[in-house]
Amino acid sequence: MSLEYYLSRQDTEKKLTVLGEVIADRATAALTFGDTALLETNLSTLKADTSILRGCIYGEDQKLAASYIAVDHLKDTCPDNVPRLNRNTYNFSQYFTISRDKTPIGTLFIESSRKDLLQRFNQFLIFSGIIILAAVVLALFLANQLKDVIARPMRDLSNTLRQIVNDKDYSIRAVKENNDELGDLVDLFNGMLITIEDENVSLKASEERFRKLTALSPVGIFQVDPKQKLQYVNQRWRDIHGLTNELPDLQDWFEMINPKDIVMVQESWNRMVFDQESIALEIRLVRRDNAHTWIHLLASALHDRDGELLGYLGAISDISELKAAQIQMENLAFYDPLTGLANRRLFKNRLEKAVKSVLRSGKSMALMFLDMDQFKRINDTLGHDAGDILLKAVATRLNNTVRENDTVSRIGGDEFTILLTDVQQSQDVLVVAEKILKALSRPIRIKGQDIVTSVSIGITMTPEDSTDVNTLMKNADLAMYWAKEMGRNNFQFFSEDMNHSILEHLALEKELKEAIQRNQFTLVFQPKVSLFDYSTTGVETLIRWEHPEKGLITPDHFIPVAEETGQIIDIGNWVLEQACRQISSLLREGILPPTAKVAVNLSAKQFTDPNLVQHIRTVLEITKIPPQCLELEITESTLMEDVETAIAIMQEIKSTGVAIAIDDFGTGYSSLSYIKRFPIDVLKVDRSFVMDIPDDKNDMAITAAVIAMAHKLSMNVVAEGVETREQLQFLRQNNCDEGQGYLFSRPLSLGQLHRFLIENKARRENGTYHI
Ligand SMILES: Nc1nc2c(ncn2[C@@H]2O[C@H](COP(=O)(O)O[C@H]3[C@@H](O)[C@H](n4cnc5c(=O)[nH]c(N)nc54)O[C@@H]3COP(=O)(O)O)[C@@H](O)[C@H]2O)c(=O)[nH]1
């Protein structure tokens, strides 16, 4: 506005200047000549401009020379003298110098009214107002129009969007009204909806597929959200857990895991959550119905395309059957199916590991080798099923005797091993060995019978004795053998001396081979005496080895070796033949009565030798000894090894007319039912029962019972090892038939026997016989 006013004012002032300068120029001559009329004519040109209020020309003397007053302002006059210029007046006024030859000769004063200017300005204002008003009206109009054209479609679009969001219905479409930019926007929006709908459809299809797949899946599937909440499980998952419909908490699920596996599961779960590691575990579940289920668990974290965590997805499969099969396979491969103990393979494996650990830790470990005494006999007597029950009972007792860390194994028929780990001193092992012997000494009831069993235990220590697994096994075996030698039902620690003895044993084996050819064996005969009249009823043949360097070697030392190597067959045959040859002369000479018998010991190997009976017949024939004068002593243990075969062999022997005596009776776990079936003529009560008479009441009772029983079975009873008068008295009181022992005579050479028989006969005949 002010600009407009300023420009109008400048226009007015410029116009006034042009007008003033023209009039001043024209007034030069009229003023020179004082022609007032011409001056006024000149001034009258001011009429043309209605805004001029007055024009005044003053001469050189400053006196008014001519004037013009606008008709509307006749009340105004020109002052007589040149008026002062007053800028504060409402009107414009301006002075123009009238010059002649550049010399001022007068002054023109023109006053112009601002009225036009203001009028023009007002007009401008009015016009501007009208324009603005029109513009506003137009703007409002246009805005209204625009509202319809732009805002409504936008509102429609946003309503559509709101409806889609509220209803989650992506099939709704925005309506396109125009083919303008908004139309394009609607097209784009609808295009986007189509894409979302397509993606939704494929997502729903994929979800449906996922649900169907998981519903039909043979594996249990579960989903956990990022906040560790179990979000989804399929039916199979519920079935495996024995759950119906409820979805348990993750914590509840963890509580269904076997306590032995829970630490492992939690550690793996934490690794999955914090380190994004996948889980693959085999664990046990304890279901609500208390059933145990082995499962294979797989789980891993689930992320979207941007790596944002969506949760965890996992699968479980019921591997109980697989595990059972695996356990069964492992059991078959590593465990003894009868006792459930570790087998030889597993034992060796554990022994190897234990030796390595001993080398690392610097601690000691003991290996025990156990062999059941007389197992074969029990097995044969009571049957294999009874043998199995016995083995199982022994296994249980062994297991209960040792600590959980120790390994008890069955490595063969009646052979067990025990690995005692973390041993401080050999005294600890000794305590365990004693505990084992004690545990096994309690009778085991099988088929209504109380069976007493025992074991012989060999013990070796590592690293003390060796750190080689095979050597340790050999050591323990050797020590066990030693325990057997020491009378069974005991334990022996391995020592290098045992090794030494084995070397001796090997040397003995070698020398035995040559002993027969070199005639190093001799025979001695121990008389058997009637306990009724002290007559000599027979003799027992006992072998002796006269070693050229070692002197006299008793059969205890070489018979077991000969038995092991099989040399006993040759040695036994030699004894049988020699005994018959030597005694036949005594019989022929009548020094031995015709009722007397020469007894020869038969070892187990001899007894089962298929040529035995033929050999007996040959010997009888060669030596001309009557069969009824020959008696074969077979130990109870030999007979009990294979009862049925023993009966058959005995019957064959009996068919030759030769008598059979059961030796060492009472030590071989015979059962009465078998004794009854054995074709036995003589029963020899073992020396171990006689030796403690009269101190051991048990032994006395047993001996008395055995004598009574043998008599009931029509057997002759011979008591072995009679050394004292008390023993003799007891045996006589209990009607024992015969006695053999140092009380009557020690084993005698043939010559000594000859003398003994004659002297004994004479003493009895002349009544000087006394004991
Ligand atoms: N297969 C063969 N075995 C044989 C043969 N010769 C002997 N043997 C067996 O060797 C074992 C030991 O015999 P031996 O050292 O000869 O001892 C016998 C007797 O000397 C001993 N005995 C006899 N009376 C007493 C006595 O009062 N006290 C005592 N301490 N010892 C005594 O007993 C042995 C005889 O025992 P047994 O045979 O059980 O009747 C021994 O088992 C022999 O059998 C052989 O040729 N073949």
Q: Are residues 561 and 634 in the same domain?
A: yes
The model's pLDDT over 343-364, given as tens digits with 9 standing for 90+, comes to 998 999 999 999 999 999 989 9
Q: Which of 494, 526, 544 is the last residue of a domain?
A: 494
pLDDT at 85: 65
- Considering the domain boundaries, does residue 100 fall inside one? yes
Interval between CA 252 and ligand 1 midpoint (Å): 77
Does residue 122 fall inside a structural domain? no
Can you say whether residue 351 is alpha, beta or left, with left for phi > 0 and alpha for psi between -120 and 50 degrees?
alpha
CA dist., res. 56 & res. 66, Å (int): 6
The alpha helices in 147-222, defined as continuous H runs, are 152-167, 181-216
Among candidate residues 324, 351, 377, the one where a domain is terminated: 324
**Position 715 pLDDT exceeds 80:** yes
Q: What is the CATH number of the domain that holds 731?
A: 3.20.20.450
Does residue 753 line the site of ligand 1, with CB under 6 A?
no
- Pocket mutation for ligand 1, best pick of 516, 541, 556, 559 (most atoms within 8 Å of C-beta): 559
Is residue 516 within 8 Å of 574, Cβ to Cβ?
yes
Residue 584 has pLDDT above 90, yes or no: yes
Best of 516, 528, 541, 542 to mutate for ligand 1, by most ligand atoms within 8 A of CB? 542
User: Most distant CA pair in the chain: distance in Å?
Assistant: 230
Residues 251 and 362 in one domain: no
Strand partners, 316: 220, 297
What is this structure's pTM? 0.49
Q: What share of the chain is helix, strand, coil (3-state, %, to 5)?
A: 50, 20, 25
Mean pLDDT estimate for the chain: 89
Of residues 382 and 277, which shows the higher confidence score? 277
Instruction: Report ipTM (2 d.p.).
Output: 0.95
The residue among 373, 376, 403, 399 whose CA lies nearest residue 387 is: 376
Residue 669 scores a pLDDT above 80: no
pLDDT one-digit tens code per residue, 475-516: 999 999 889 878 889 999 999 888 787 778 778 888 998 898
pLDDT given for residue 1 in this prediction: 61
pLDDT value, residue 86: 65
What's residue 623's pLDDT? Answer: 95
Nearest CA owner, ligand 1 atom 46: 543
Residues 348 and 482 in one domain: yes
pLDDT (average), residues 112-128: 80
Asked whether the predicted pLDDT for residue 147 surpasses 80, the reply is no
SS (H, E, C) 122-144: HHHHHHHHHHHHHHHHHHHHHHH
pLDDT at residue 673, as a whole number? 64
Q: Considering only CA atoms, which residue is closest to atom 19 of ligand 1?
A: 747
CB atoms within 10 A of CB 163: 12
| Ligand 1 pocket member 499 (CB < 6 A) | no
Nearest CA to ligand 1 atom 22: 721
CA-proximal residue: ligand 1, atom 3 (nearest): 601
Question: 747 CB under 6 A from ligand 1?
Answer: yes
For position 672, what pLDDT does the model report?
Answer: 60
Please tell me if the CB atom of residue 554 comes closer than 6 angstroms to any atom of ligand 1: yes
Let me know the angle formed at the C-alpha of 766 by 765 and 771, rounded to the nearest 5 degrees. Answer: 85
Atom of ligand 1 nearest to the CA of 526: 23
- What pLDDT, on a 0 to 100 scale, did the predictor assign at position 627? 97
Atom number, ligand 1, closest to the C-alpha of residue 747:
20
Dihedral over alpha carbons 70, 76, 80, 81 (to 10 degrees) = -90
Q: Which of 300, 324, 348 is the last residue of a domain?
A: 324
Compute, in angstroms, the gap from residue 542 CA to the centroid of ligand 1. 6
Residue 273 in any domain: the answer is yes
Residues 294 and 378 reside in one and the same domain: no
For residues 352 and 239, membership in a common domain is answered with no
Q: Which atom of ligand 1 is nearest to the CA of 740?
A: 24
- Residue nearest to ligand 1 atom 7, measured at CA: 542
Q: Which domain holds residue 366?
A: 338-494
CA–CA separation, 68 and 62 (whole Å): 17
Query: What atom in ligand 1 is closest to the CA of residue 723?
Result: 27
Co-location of 477 and 529 in the same domain:
no
- Which is the closest atom of ligand 1 to the Cα of 542? 6
97: which strand partners? 107
Q: What is the mean pLDDT of residues 26-33?
A: 88
Which residue's alpha carbon is at the smallest distance from atom 21 of ligand 1? 721
Residue 29, pLDDT score: 87
Is the model's pLDDT at 302 over the cut of 60? Answer: yes
Predicted confidence band of residue 203 (pLDDT cuts 50, 70, 90)? confident
- Per-residue pLDDT reduced to its tens digit, 410-453: 999 999 999 999 898 889 999 999 999 999 999 999 888 888 89
Is 575's C-beta closer than 6 angstroms to any atom of ligand 1? yes
pLDDT value at residue 87? 61
- Give the residue from 488, 486, 391 showing the smallest Cα distance to 437: 488
The secondary structure of 76-117 as a DSSP string is: ----SBPPPP-TTSSSEEEEEEEEETTEEEEEEEEEE-SHHH
Let me know if residue 542 belongs to a domain: yes
Do 588 and 701 lie in one domain? The reply is yes
Rounded mean pLDDT of 180-184? 84
127 in any annotated domain = no
Residue 361 is part of a domain; what is its CATH number? 3.30.70.270
Averaged pLDDT, 49-61: 88
pLDDT tier for residue 197 given thresholds of 50, 70 and 90 = confident
- 292 or 473: which leads in pLDDT: 473
* Position 525 in a domain: yes
Residue 193 lies in a domain: no
**Total number of domains in the chain:** 4
Q: How many CB atoms lie within 10 A of CB 531?
A: 23
- Residue 632 in contact with residue 653, Cβ under 8 Å? yes
Q: Alpha carbon of 407 to those of 342, 351, 398, 400: distances in Å?
A: 7, 9, 10, 11
Q: Where are the alpha helices (DSSP H) in 217-288?
A: 235-241, 250-255, 259-275
Residue 683 pLDDT exceeds 90:
yes
Angle between the N-to-C axes of helices 375-382 and 384-401, in degrees from 0 to 180, rounded to the nearest 10: 140
Q: Which has the higher per-residue pLDDT, 542 or 637?
A: 542
Q: What is the mean pLDDT of residues 686-702?
A: 91
Other residues' Cβ atoms within 10 Å of the Cβ of residue 702: 16
Full strand arrangement of the beta sheet holding 309-318: 230-233, 220-224, 309-318, 292-303, 279-286
| Cα radius of gyration (the chain) | 69
Residue 331, pLDDT > 80, answer no
pLDDT of residue 210: 79
Q: Is the CB of 542 under 6 A from ligand 1?
A: yes
Determine if ligand 1 sits within 6 Å of the CB of residue 723: yes
> Hunting for tokens 């029963």 — which residue is that?
683
The pLDDT score that the predictor gives to residue 322 is 84
Residues 613 and 516 in one domain: yes
- Ligand 1 pocket check for 686: Cβ under 6 Å: no
Is there a domain that residue 146 lies in? no
With beta carbons less than 8 A apart as the criterion, state whether 656 and 616 touch. yes
Query: Do 426 and 476 reside in the same domain of the chain?
Result: yes
In this predicted structure, the answer to whether residue 613 has a pLDDT above a threshold of 60 is yes
The one-character DSSP state at 257 is B
Q: Is 107 exposed, middle or buried (0-12, 13-18, 19+ CB in 10 A)?
A: buried
Q: Is the CB of 570 under 6 A from ligand 1?
A: no
Q: Quick one: CA dihedral 156, 157, 163, 166, positive or negative?
A: negative
Same domain for 484 and 519, yes or no, is: no
- CA-nearest of 648, 575, 555 to 608 is 648
User: Rounded mean pLDDT of 41-50?
Assistant: 86
Residue nearest to atom 10 of ligand 1 (CA): 555
| 393 touches ligand 1 (CB under 6 Å) | no
For residues 60 and 97, the answer to whether their CB atoms sit within 8 Å is no
CATH for 222: 3.30.450.20
Give the pLDDT band of residue 578 (cuts 50, 70, 90): very high
Q: Which atom of ligand 1 is nearest to the CA of 524?
A: 16
pLDDT band at 200 (very low <50, low <70, confident <90, very high): confident
Distance 610 CA to ligand 1 centre (A): 25
CA of 649 to the centre of ligand 1 (A): 23
Distance CA 261, CA 323 (A): 15
Give the model's pLDDT for residue 316.
94
Find the distance separating the first CA and the last CA of the chain, reported in whole Å: 172
**383 and 345 both lie in a single domain:** yes
Q: Which of 522, 529, 546, 601 should be mutated for ligand 1, with most atoms under 8 A from CB?
A: 601
Centre of ligand 1 to C-alpha 647, Å, is: 24
475 with 575, same domain? Answer: no
The whole-number average pLDDT for the span 43-72 is 88
Whose C-alpha lies nearest to ligand 1, atom 36?
720
